[in-house]
Chain A
Amino acid sequence: MTDLERARTRNTGLGGLIVKIAVLGGLDAIAVFLAAVLVGRGDYTVAGLVIVGAIILTVIYLSERFIPAKYIGPGLVFLAIFQVFVIGYTVYIAFTNYSTGHILTQDQAVEALLSQSQSRLPDSPSYPLMVVESGTQLSFLVTAPDGTALLGDAENPLKPVDATFDDGQAVAVDGYTSLRFADILGRQDEVSSLAVPLSDSAADGSLRTLDGRTAYEYTSSLSFDSTTGVLTDTTTGESYRDGGEGSFVGEDGTEILPGWQVNVGLDNFTRAVSEPSIRGPLVYVTAWTIAFAAISVGIIFALGLLMALLFNDPSMRGRTAYRIVMVLPYAFPAFLGAMVWSGMLSQSFGFINQVVLGGASIPWLTDPTLAKVAVLMVNLWLGFPYMFLVATGALQAIPGEVREAARMDGTSRWQMLRHIELPLLLISMAPILIATFAFNFNNFNVIYLVTGGGPRDTGAGIPVGHTDILISMVYKVAFTGQNRDYGLASAFSIIIFIVVAAISIISFRRTKTLEEIS
């Protein structure tokens, strides 16, 4: 009741309060439902976060004390989900060996290894199978090749029994309930993990079934001792121990996979800077990334500004028509633009070589240097209309009297641009230039769609090409080929983050001083 009264005193409508309670109630209901599902799946941490989040939001909106939080609350929630979590998870992955062969937990890896080591005894018969039950204990009732019935369970090896036969197959035995296929489906884990020894000697192997209808003789070439954590190859006698790096390692150093995911500390970072086959590419890719971003910003700004100055001249006729044409590349989807350019730059079939250059054979995309020029040109084409629009706006915002005053003082056109227009433009455009730099620093689309990072650098230890920038290299390390290395890729991402953050901070500091001067 107190809330209601307070609401009345603050002249908030009763309707508003009802809507508020309804929305919050709905939100909390969804949170409770989500938490129930998550707890059911064993995700206690996430369930806890959902509940805590819901409580915080409810308190913020029901209490009168957190006015600012009411406005930034929803934004913070989305920030946490889409930014903080992603960054945190990337950082976490960077400190693990998460990669091909290291995606499981240790228990899962042991399970997978033992399962892969099961091999069917050569030329052994298949046994038609009936899964039977006594109490809750499952047993296998099988029909041997000679037509006799055999019964056994996990502890008791197979022994002949008197069974009821149907169509030559043993289907029931006294004291046991025969399970129909539908019954087995409810206990699939039990059935598929049951191994019935063939005899008292473990070396003879055991009967297992995969489909619940037929059993086969298997031997396992690996055995695992869960108390000592030692995996033993039963055929060679060699033992494998946890090597400390997420896999079992033999005495001679051979590693067997699948392994599991472990924390490896700074290994990925040290590898990035100390292994020559990775460090080499990392250094020149970083250099090219900075060059690509800086040159892109430079030429895009130069062309955009030039066009803006030209089309801002009142003496030019048909400016509107020209301006519409100029903006076209910006209206055209960048993905399509990049792909069309990639086709047009093809050496012997591309439009550029065939038509524009009259049948020339210039390797635009396959020569390391020309490919760099090509991606810069495509990026210029894609990027300058935006800069043209912004520069036009900024130019028009410069007050006419400033220009007039300058003209009275007798400045030339160049002096006007150099000393009046450009400094005034830069105040409003500097943040956009920094943003353009940061965007191009991670401009994956243009690189991936135009050259795919190629031509490939065959000397590098990781799959990387001459036009790859850091982000496309990260993509290749993490998501291409048969040897994925998510840990290393995450470490690279963090390096990118640090570089971009540092450049942005420094640039914004400098623009601040610029603003103070003016």
Chain B
Amino acid sequence: MLMTKKSIAVGALLAVGLLTTGCSASSDTPTASATSAAPDTTATSTLTVWVDAERADALAQAATDYEAQTGISVDIVARDNSTLKDDFIQQASSGSGPDIVMGAHDWLGELTTNGVVAPLELGDKAADFLPVALDASTYDGVVYELPYAVENLAMLRNADLVPEPAANFDDMIAKGTAAGVEFPFVVEQGENGNPYHLYPFQTAFGAPVFGRDDSGSYDPTQLTLGDGAAFAQWLGTQGNNGAKTMSTEITGDIAKEKFTTGQAAFWLTGPWNVNAAVEAGINVAVDAIPSPGSEAAQPFAGVKGFFVNQYSENKVAANDFLVNYLGTVDVQVALFESGGVLPALTAAADQVSSDPIIAGFKAAGMDAVPMPAIPAMGRVWEFWGIAEAGVLNGEDPDATWLQLTTDVQSAIDGS
């Protein structure tokens, strides 16, 4: 009997709950205006922020602090990074998307072409960010991203095997060989190549992908990839038919395994792999990338940050949260502590550079250039790695590179 009474009570509670939620949902507008007229400042607005699941915890603290300061509650939603961009593009305009999304600057071409991101105004704060971060966050002369971290490749060195940094690429191979390990140097490739990891060597021969227009934006009409014939020839000498310093057989996992087990002296990789090497007990030193050519080896910089949804109904709150709160030293340092990637805010970057590994990445990133975000870059990626993999596997460097340039140019012209 007692049980029956209890279950009836629960049922009644549920029914009332349903009724009340039904009412509040159907009479949304009047409720909202009623609260805004009330003198209390609490929770007039909720910001929904989609973040990479790995950064969710670092931001949870920032969200709580921001709510305490302004009364705006921030709902941090951890999402799978691999589907974050697509889900955002699909849902942004439907009204069910977030107000803010975390992402990388090279999404900008797609995001602006689809018209789903709103411009930001950093105002006087713009000067407080690292130049490369600001450069990357600007698309077609307009800033869209509030940057929080700058990622670039650097040369990881097993300091127990090779105590001194290498002066140039040949010196690195010589030092690595002298250390007597199976691989003097490893870099992630794979059967389709990996141009991102070879880009520093390409720029060492003076061949960026795109030229820049007067405003400093990458210009799709100036494809300078074709200047890389000297790079292609050098790459041919390093592949299967030459010195075998690089191979398409070395995937990311294999490169990681060789370095973390002490079978490789040098590893060209990014900050995301440092922890694995340190945890494996390797004495890791981070150096600038040794150049095989006459110019500096410039890696691509990837700038992580936040974007505001063009169709957000909380744009004022979203801009305030990003520019006036996430753009501060404390938050940028907190985000650094969760991810270990160099902060984009200069003051925060200086503050964390006492760590030699971070200082190493910062130094290697001195010459870094933002990865082009223009849609034409998508056409380059389609052909670039395949061509480089071909050269490494013994195809004629000159002919392959010429074919690559022609293919990319016609793909850009055709789209």
CB distance from A193 to the nearest CB of B (A): 9
* Shortest Cβ distance from A260 into B: residue: B115
The minimal Cβ–Cβ distance linking B35 to chain A, given in whole angstroms, is 8
Does the CB pair B71–A182 fall under 8 Å? yes
Known: A211-B320, A348-B247, A482-B110. A33 touches B18 (CB 8 A): yes
A111 within 8 A of partner (CB): yes
Contact A126 B123 (CB under 8 A): yes
B249 touches A346 (CB 8 A): yes
Docked-complex contact B120 and A210, CB < 8 angstroms: yes
Q: Mark A209-237, 1 if CB is under 8 A from B, else 0.
A: 11111101000000000000000000000
Partner of A188 from B18, B45, B109 at Cβ < 8 Å: B45
Q: Which of B21-29, B227-235, B265-273 contacts A (4 or more CB under 8 A)?
A: B21-29
**Which residues does chain B contribute within 8 Å of A182, judged by CB atoms?**
41, 44, 70-71
Residues A116 and B115 in contact, CB atoms below 8 Å apart: yes
Binds A, one of B52-60, B148-156, B166-174, B377-385: B377-385
Instruction: List CB contacts (< 8 Å) of B52-97 with chain A.
Output: 70-72, 86, 89-90, 93, 95
Closest residue on chain B to residue A458 by CB atoms: B386
Interface pair B121/A213, CB less than 8 Å apart: no
Does A115 sit within 8 A of B, measured CB to CB? yes
Q: Can you name the residue of chain A whose Cβ is closest to the Cβ of B312? A: A188
Interface string of A443-467 (1 = CB under 8 A from B): 0000000000011101001010000
Which residue of the partner chain, among A108, A192, A347, contacts B115 with CB atoms under 8 Å?
Answer: A108
Q: Which residues of B contact A189 (CB under 8 A)?
A: 313, 315
Which residue of the partner chain B has the closest CB to A350?
A: B249
Q: Is the CB of B378 within 8 A of A482?
A: yes
Question: A104 on the interface (CB 8 Å rule)?
Answer: yes
Smallest CB separation, B185 vs chain A (Å): 17
What sequence of 0s and 1s flags, for each residue 26-42 of chain B, a beta carbon within 8 Å of any chain A beta carbon?
10100011011000010
Cβ-defined partner of A112 (8 Å) among B44, B86, B310: B310
B128 CB → nearest A CB, Å: 14
Select which of A37, A108, A210, A216 is within 8 A of B93 by beta carbon: A108
B378 and A181 contacting across the interface, CB-CB below 8 Å: no
B26 and A40 within 8 A (CB)? yes
CB distance from A456 to the nearest CB of B (A): 6
Q: How far is the CB of B217 from chain A (nearest CB, A)?
A: 13
**B4 in contact (CB, < 8 A):** no
A72-111 CB contacts (< 8 Å) to partner B: 100-101, 103-105, 108-109, 111
Q: Does A65 contact B (CB under 8 A)?
A: no
Q: Chain A: interface secondary structure? A: mixed
Q: Is the CB of B313 within 8 A of A188?
A: yes
Chain A residues with CB under 8 A of B381: 481-482
**A284 contacts chain B at the CB level, 8 A cutoff:** no
A residues near B316, Cβ cutoff 8 Å: 184-185, 188, 191-192, 209-212
Q: Are B113 and A213 in contact (CB under 8 A)?
A: no
Q: Would you give the 0/1 interface string for A419-442, flagging 1 where the beta carbon is closer than 8 Å to chain B? A: 000000000000000000000000
The chain A residue sitting closest to B95, CB to CB, is A41
The verdict on A378 contacting chain B, using a C-beta distance below 8 Å, is: no
Q: Is A120 an interface residue (CB 8 A)?
A: yes
A183 in the interface (beta carbon within 8 A) = yes
Contact (A454, B192) CB under 8 Å given A210-B319, A348-B249, A482-B110:
yes
CA distance A461 to B26 in the complex (A): 50
CB of B324 within 8 A of CB of A213, answer yes
Chain A CB within 8 A of B394 CB: no
When each residue 304-329 of chain B gets 1 if its CB lies under 8 Å from chain A and 0 otherwise, what string results?
A: 00000011011111011001100000
Q: Any chain B CB within 8 A of the CB of A479?
A: yes
The chain A residue with its CB closest to the CB of B390 is A458
Judge whether B191 and A349 touch: CB under 8 Å: no
A186 at the interface (CB under 8 A from B): yes
> Does residue B274 face the partner (Cβ distance < 8 Å to A)?
no
Check if A483 is an interface residue, CB within 8 A of chain B. yes
Contacts of A37 in B (CB 8 A): 22, 25-26
- Is A49 among interface residues, defined by CB-CB distance under 8 A? no
Give every chain A residue within 8 A of B44 (Cβ-Cβ).
182, 185-186
Cβ-defined partner of B382 (8 Å) among A100, A191, A216, A463: A463
Contact residues on A (Cβ < 8 Å of other chain), bracket: 35 or more
Among B114, B119, B140, B407, the most chain A Cβ lie within 10 Å of the Cβ of B114
Pick from A101, A108, A183, A349: contact of B249, CB under 8 Å: A349
Instruction: Give Cα distance in the complex from A479 to B266, angstroms.
Output: 35
0 or 1 for each of B332-366: is its CB under 8 Å from A? (1 = yes): 00000000000000000000000000000000000
- Identify B119's interface contact among A118, A185, A191, A257, CB under 8 A: A118
The answer to whether B369 has its CB under 8 Å from any CB of chain A is no
Decide if B100 is an interface residue (CB 8 Å cutoff).
no
A113 touches B383 (CB 8 A): no
Q: A239 an interface residue at 8 Å Cβ cutoff? A: no
**Bound-state Cα–Cα, A120 to B382, Å:** 35
Which residues in chain B, 217-257, are within 8 Å of chain A measured between CB atoms? 247-249, 251, 254
CB of B18 within 8 A of CB of A116, answer no
Residues of A within 8 A of B324 (CB): 211, 213
Cβ 8 A contact of B109, one of A119, A185, A456, A482:
A482
Q: A103-B90, A119-B141, A456-B192 are in contact. Are A482 and B45 (CB under 8 A)?
A: no
In the bound assembly, the distance between CA atoms of A347 and B254 in angstroms comes to 13
Interface residue? A29 (CB, 8 A): yes
* Interface assignment of B118: CB less than 8 Å from any CB of chain A: yes
Q: Which residue of A lies closest to B414 (CB)?
A: A461
Known A184-B316, A210-B319; judge A101-B114 contact (CB<8 A).
yes
Report whether B191 and A483 are in contact in the complex, using a CB–CB cutoff of 8 Å: no
Q: Are B36 and A36 in contact (CB under 8 A)?
A: no
A483 to B411, CA, bound (A): 12
- Which of A39, A108, A116, A348 is B112 in contact with, Cβ under 8 Å? A116
Check A210 against B192 for contact (C-beta < 8 Å).
no
Contact A366 B191 (CB under 8 A): yes
Q: What mask results when residues 162 to 198 of chain A are scored 1 for a CB within 8 Å of chain B, else 0?
A: 0000000000000000001111111111011000000
Cβ-defined contact, B114 with A40, below 8 A: no
Q: Which of A371-399 contact B (CB under 8 A)?
A: none
CB-based contact A211/B113 at 8 Å = no
Cβ of A51 < 8 Å from any Cβ of B? no
Residue of B nearest to A478 (CB): B86
Of the candidates B115, B142, B315, which one forms a contact with A210 in the assembled complex, judged by CB atoms under 8 Å apart? B315
Given contacts A181-B70, A188-B316, contact A112 B32 (CB under 8 A): no
Q: Decide if B214 is an interface residue (CB 8 Å cutoff).
A: no
* Shortest distance from the beta carbon of B105 to any chain A beta carbon, whole Å: 14
Whether, in the assembled complex, B116 has its beta carbon less than 8 Å from a beta carbon of chain A, the answer is yes
- Given A103-B89, A192-B316, A210-B315, do A258 and B191 touch, yes or no (CB 8 Å)? no
> Is B279 at the interface (CB under 8 A from chain A)?
no
- A32 to B23 alpha-carbon distance, docked (Å): 11
**B415: interface (CB < 8 Å):** yes
Across the interface, which residues of B come within 8 angstroms of A39, CB to CB?
Answer: 26
Besides A209-B316, A482-B110, A482-B377, 4 new A-B residue pairs in contact (Cβ under 8 A), listed by A number: A211-B324, A213-B324, A258-B115, A456-B386
Q: List 21 A-B contacts (CB under 8 A).
A: A37-B25, A37-B26, A108-B311, A113-B115, A116-B115, A119-B141, A119-B142, A126-B123, A181-B70, A185-B314, A186-B44, A186-B45, A188-B313, A188-B317, A210-B315, A210-B316, A210-B323, A212-B319, A214-B121, A216-B121, A346-B249
> Taking beta carbons and an 8 Å cutoff, which residues of B are in contact with A?
15, 18, 21-22, 25-26, 28, 32-33, 35-36, 41, 44-45, 70-72, 86, 89-90, 93, 95, 109-110, 112-116, 118-121, 123-124, 140-142, 191-192, 247-249, 251, 254, 310-311, 313-317, 319-320, 323-324, 375, 377-378, 381-383, 386, 407, 411, 414-415
Q: Which 10 pairs between the two chains have the least Cβ-Cβ distance?
A: A482-B378, A258-B115, A112-B115, A186-B36, A182-B41, A211-B319, A210-B319, A185-B45, A211-B320, A212-B316
